[in-house]
Amino acid sequence: MGTYLNPGNSGFAEILKGDYQDKTGMIGLINERIGTPNKLICISRPRRFGKSYAAQMLCAYYDHACDSHCLFDDKEVAKTEYYGDCINKFNIIYLDMTNLLGKVTPESLISFIEKSVTEELLAEYPKLKRGLTFDQTLINTVESGNPKFIMIIDEWDAPIRETPQITKEYLLFLRMLFKSSNTTSKIFAAAYMTGILPIKKDKGQSAVSDFDEFTVLEPGEYSEYIGFTENEVRDLCDRYNMSFEKAKQWYDGYTFSETQSIYNPYSIMKAMQKRVYRSYWQQTSAAENLETLININKDGLQEDILKLIAGEQIVVNTGRFKNDFATFTSKDDVLTLLIHLGYLVYNSKTRRVRIPNEEVRFEFDDLLQNAQHTGLARLVQNSEKLLQDTLNGNESEVVNAIVRVRNTNYAPMFYNNEQALRYVIKFAYIVCIDYYLKVEELPTGHGIADVVFLPKRDTSLPAMIVELKWSQTAEGAIKQIKEKDYPSLISEYTGDILLVGINYDEDTKKHSCKIEKIKM
């Protein structure tokens, strides 16, 4: 077994010893493409979504230097049409680009790959001609009667993300291998690349245009094979006696078209093994820094980020993104990068993004806590004071705080109904994400409570039920909370509850507030 040529099946065999979810059906899809014009595949997903596991699986299945029937005969792929025709039938070239960048200088990366793979080929096939170029050596291997190659490149975009100075040379290397249909047809039965970013665009076109790409924006038929499906998470929760509802709250949110929700496998397995639902996202070795990206602040980017933190969804144009970490012509480019990194999730029908789940919200929470930008810091400071004034029952100061938010860029242009008031309240109480679980329009047996803040377990704060009125009275809002028995909707909560009524009078252009405390 080689390092880069035919690495064998030991990696996948080790994976099978853990809580493996059968993703081998993906192989059946790739088998259908082998030897066809659609044999080049690139799948991009955020970190920790199981891309490398899939690469190890493909190495084990296709590598002709080993026998992997015992690993796959009882799996989903064994039921597919071309299972026996393709298992252990090809030469594999396996490149883990992140690992390679840790071994060599960026400038020597391509020469190291070509030299290392060539040396292993010559050792495996001593009769091959020597002194040829890399692509000619690959052609010579196949023309000498040996199996065609399947090339597997894991984290294909690592050189672009981490060493942008070699981007041009690296893309030329990929073009040399995959751009010429004549060369590609002679050498490769298929190619499979994984990464975070889609393939780099060059002057508006994909730098390696023959690849079929399956991204978080358009996952296609591979959506269920990268990440855990909802059924798989349910099964794991049952096995570990963990709450599925809490797993969904913490880690759900990556809903791809025509499939159910997809979960981050790394976080799910950490939660199962440690038996604690919390953020494991921050423990990943991401090179990207959320704060650095947000500080770019193009076209009011930070205002949009605050809208997302407050629970809003915003429209994003993803079409102009250049698929790198350096070329940002608008805030849409930064937001599109955040989609590919997994910080945001995109709805292709509405073209809107949102923060996917509680785990990722922790990242944005840190952003608020460490806000350096004047606008962010000022909003956080005002929101902290508002929360304290609410807890202290200081109604006049609550009104003043709401007015301050009303007069910022975070308020709607047309302040003319209760929804506009609700929008302002979201920003006014934005620091509550540190201490509370916020639920909007929570249905009860007698109506719908506008906003409910339930304290997180590690705080001793009271719960808050906020009722909003437009051109009525704050006292009327409190009366509605009591008459419709909104506190009963959180009957499992024991402790103080603040009833907060907020009204805006359209005639006088003034807000009013009434606060009462009750105990369940």
Q: Residue 488: its pLDDT value, please?
A: 76
- What local confidence, expressed as pLDDT, does residue 184 receive? 86
H or E stretch including 10? helix 10-16
Q: Which of 78-87, 168-177, 487-496 has the lowest mean pLDDT?
A: 487-496
- 376 vs 42, higher pLDDT: 42
**Considering only 33-47, 66-80, 317-331, 504-518, which range has the smallest mean pLDDT?**
317-331
Distance CA 453, CA 434 (A): 11
What pLDDT score was predicted for residue 154?
96
| Residue written as token pair 């038996």 | 275
> In this predicted structure, what is the pLDDT of residue 454?
87
Helix 374-391 / helix 358-369 crossing angle, nearest 10 deg: 100
Which of 153, 45, 150 lies closest to 92, judged by CA?
150
Percent of the chain with pLDDT over 70: 90
CA angle (391 as vertex; 501, 366 as ends), nearest 5: 105
Q: What is the spatial distance between Cα 59 and Cα 73, in angstroms, rounded to a whole number?
A: 16
The mean per-residue pLDDT over the stretch 21-48 comes to 94
Name residue, tokens 């920003």: 427
User: What pLDDT digit, counting tens, does each position of 198-233 carry?
Assistant: 887 665 455 577 899 999 988 889 989 999 999 999
Q: Which residues contact 396 (CB under 8 A, 6 or more apart)?
A: 513
Residue 286 has pLDDT above 50, yes or no: no
**Where does the pLDDT of residue 151 fall: very low under 50, low under 70, confident under 90, or very high at 90 and above?**
very high
> Rounded CA gap, 247 and 272, in Å?
9
Give CA–CA dist 499/384, Å, rounded: 19
* Interval 160-167 mean pLDDT: 89
37/375: higher pLDDT:
37
Range with the lowest mean pLDDT among 106-115, 132-141, 276-285?
276-285
Cβ atoms 322, 167 nearer than 8 A: no
Please provide the average confidence, as pLDDT, over all residues in the chain: 87
- SS3 track for 160-225: HHHCHHHHHHHHHHHHHHHCCHHHHHHHEEEEEEEECCCCCEECCEECCCCCEEECCCCCHHHHHH
pLDDT at 84: 96
- In this predicted structure, what is the pLDDT of residue 356? 92
Q: Poorest-confidence range of 65-79, 162-176, 291-305?
A: 291-305
Residue range 414-430: mean pLDDT, rounded: 83
pLDDT in the model for residue 458: 64
Residue 443: per-residue pLDDT: 56
Quick one: pLDDT band at residue 287, thresholds 50, 70, 90? very low
The answer to whether the predicted template modeling score (pTM) of the entire model surpasses 0.85 is no
Least Cα distance to 83 among 71, 94, 72, 67 occurs for 72
pLDDT tens string 442-494: 554 445 668 888 887 667 889 999 999 999 999 999 999 888 887 776 766 66
| The predicted structure's pLDDT at residue 104 | 94
> What one-letter code names the amino acid at 64?
H
Overall average pLDDT of the 134-138 stretch: 95
pLDDT number for residue 418? 82
pLDDT of residue 375: 65
Mean pLDDT of 57-77: 97
pLDDT at residue 231, as a whole number: 93
Domains delineated in the chain: 10-225 (3.40.50), 228-278 (no CATH), 290-369 (1.10.10), 374-519 (3.40.1350)
pLDDT in tens, 423-434: 888 888 888 877
pLDDT reported for residue 207: 57
pLDDT given at position 446: 46
The string of pLDDT tens digits covering residues 110-119 is: 999 999 999 9
Position 267 scores a pLDDT of 93
141 φ/ψ angles, rounded to the nearest 5 degrees: -60, -50
pLDDT tens-digit map of 338-370? 999 999 999 888 899 999 998 998 888 777 766
Whole-number pLDDT of residue 486: 79
Question: What does the pLDDT read at residue 353?
Answer: 93
